[in-house]
């Protein structure tokens, strides 16, 4: 029996590890032919197959530099999921990885979570599409060498915040042609509406609307220090207090100001 663990995801030339959760699935919808004079279905066929997945990583800077506020076209930057093969005794087989490659489709940043205690993480959605509607958009290979990871990253919620949650508002939509099994077009559902939720100590102003505000996550460096920030800035938004007590929670809805995307990310270059 073989066992595999997702160890990394490559988007174009960027390799992302420190994966804390992942899913990859083929969602199959069947057609069934009922035998109206009997007890059982007489035939089963495939109507459509959706291939894709999601993953969460602690490598916030590397991941956001690869896929940030702009969706990535996988025809330009392929997505490759690496699954490390576990050998008997608990080690990993260096050249025994399995990969799933998606050469067409879309990858989007879904969310960021920075709790009061613990490391920050970012979550992504990936959807494969077919070149012709008949061939699978995700291709499996085995016996592959595992990728090389240059460095590790840890990030925590930034100064002045108790916690931070960002929903990018980006979700993937797929379409398929009649008579085909796999989707042949993927895009982002419109309109895109980001949402930011923060918790701060102390009381806040009720019903406030603001401009040119920002929140951060901060690098946690070796030895207990703090390093650079990744900053999420919005130029136009509706902001309001949701709950108030010893801490105050805020809900912020950034919108397009006519020039910049609703959330601008800096500190990832």
Band of the pLDDT at 205, cuts 50, 70, 90? low
Asked whether residue 139 is assigned to any structural domain, the reply reads yes
Mean pLDDT of all residues in 65-84 = 95
pLDDT digits (tens, 9 = 90+) for 93-140: 878 899 999 999 999 999 999 999 999 999 999 999 999 999 999 999
Asked whether residue 34 is assigned to any structural domain, the reply reads no
Asked whether residue 35 is assigned to any structural domain, the reply reads no
* Residue 56 Cα distances to 21, 64, 104, 157, 164, angstroms: 5, 12, 21, 17, 16
The mean of the pLDDT values for the chain is: 91
With a cut of 80, say whether residue 212 has pLDDT above it: no
Asked whether residue 38 is assigned to any structural domain, the reply reads no
Mean pLDDT of all residues in 242-262 = 90
CA angle 82/86/89 to nearest 5° reads: 160
What is the model's pLDDT at position 126? 97
C-alpha span between 173 and 155 (Å, rounded): 31
Least confident range from 88-92, 103-107, 164-168: namely 88-92
Looking at the structure of the chain, the number of domains it has is 1
> How buried is 243 (Cβ within 10 angstroms: 0-12 exposed, 13-18 middle, 19+ buried)?
exposed
Per the model's pLDDT, the better-predicted residue between 3 and 259 turns out to be 259
C-alpha span between 94 and 147 (Å, rounded): 9
Per the model's pLDDT, the better-predicted residue between 88 and 25 turns out to be 25
Band of the pLDDT at 178, cuts 50, 70, 90? confident
Asked whether residue 188 is assigned to any structural domain, the reply reads yes
C-alpha span between 221 and 61 (Å, rounded): 13
Asked whether residue 37 is assigned to any structural domain, the reply reads no
With a cut of 60, say whether residue 76 has pLDDT above it: yes
Strand pairing class (105-114; 163-167): antiparallel
Band of the pLDDT at 202, cuts 50, 70, 90? confident
For residue 164, give its domain range: 3-28+44-266
The sign of the torsion formed by the CA atoms of 28, 7, 97, 5 equals negative
pLDDT digits (tens, 9 = 90+) for 20-43: 998 899 999 999 998 888 889 999
């Amino acid at each position: 029996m073989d066992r595999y663990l997702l160890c990394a995801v490559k988007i174009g030339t960027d390799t992302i590890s420190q994966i804390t959760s992942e899913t990859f699935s083929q969602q199959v919808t069947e057609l069934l032919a009922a035998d109206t004079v009997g007890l059982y279905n007489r035939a089963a066929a495939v109507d459509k197959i959706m291939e894709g997945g999601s993953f969460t990583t602690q490598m916030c800077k590397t991941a956001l530099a690869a896929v940030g506020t702009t969706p990535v076209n996988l025809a330009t930057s392929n997505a490759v999921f690496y699954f490390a093969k576990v050998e008997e005794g608990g080690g990993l087989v260096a050249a025994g990885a399995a990969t799933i490659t998606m050469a067409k489709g879309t990858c989007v940043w879904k969310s960021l979570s920075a709790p009061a205690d613990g490391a920050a993480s970012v979550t992504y959605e990936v959807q494969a599409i077919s070149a012709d509607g008949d061939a699978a958009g995700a291709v499996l290979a085995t016996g592959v060498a595992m990728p090389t990871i240059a460095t590790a990253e840890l990030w925590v919620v930034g100064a002045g915040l108790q916690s931070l949650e960002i929903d990018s508002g980006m979700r993937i939509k797929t379409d398929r042609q009649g008579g085909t099994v796999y989707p042949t077009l993927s895009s982002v559902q419109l309109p895109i509406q980001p949402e930011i939720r923060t918790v701060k100590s102390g009381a806040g102003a009720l019903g406030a609307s603001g401009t040119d505000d920002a929140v951060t996550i901060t690098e946690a460096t070796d030895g207990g220090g703090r390093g650079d920030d990744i900053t999420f800035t919005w130029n136009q938004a509706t902001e309001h207090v949701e709950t108030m007590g010893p801490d105050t929670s805020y809900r912020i809805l950034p919108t397009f100001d006519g020039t910049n995307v609703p959330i601008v990310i800096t500190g990832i270059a």
